[in-house]
Structure 1
């Protein structure tokens, strides 16, 4: 039986190496922050959506508004129409309206309004998904 014990020991050693080598690959990655692309004029009240990388789900999300060069935000607060995960928890949906003002080159007090720029932010995770509301 010495050959059998040696074979069992070798098999157990190989199985231990295989388990140890596989452990890091299956371990959950920490949540990652993802900033979507800058959507010029995206704060227009229409729905915009950004997705997590494949096989990941949304843990949380939100948005940031910015005014283009040469413009400033209006004093009216932003209208947030939607700010939530999508129904499959794979992306984040934002619909927000915020106006910026730009003075005319003629030097008059007339101003032209336009939507602010929008950037959607996500925190994506490998953890179990939770469906959107």
Structure 2
């Protein structure tokens, strides 16, 4: 009897944790896309917050810049916007970040162009933003 009760409590806890992570992710995506869309020469921004059943989390950011934009400037400005909008997001989460010109997706750049890792963590982006002001 006690084992069944424990299992139900454990299952309900897991469900609650998953629902909380989903709502956190949805809020993060909405706020991040709004912030990144305000960066000069950004045509669109798409953020995904992927949480694998509470085991690992990854953020994907894809920014489409206008064809006349300097991609390095868009990358630098958008990384600062990302850092400012990241709020209390866990700093160890890795971020797959890509900026490309409209109509030329294969010609994009990643954060390694400004001295970061190709897939930096949230904290690394925050540190970049602090040091590049």
TM-score, shorter chain, exceeding 0.5: no
Instruction: Compare the two structures and name the one with the higher strand fraction.
Output: 1
For this structure pair, what is the TM-score category when the shorter chain's length is used for normalisation?
0.3 to 0.5
TM-score relative to the length of structure 2: 0.33
Bigger Rg, structure 1 or 2: 1
Structure with the larger helix share: 2
The TM-score normalised by the length of structure 1 is: 0.33
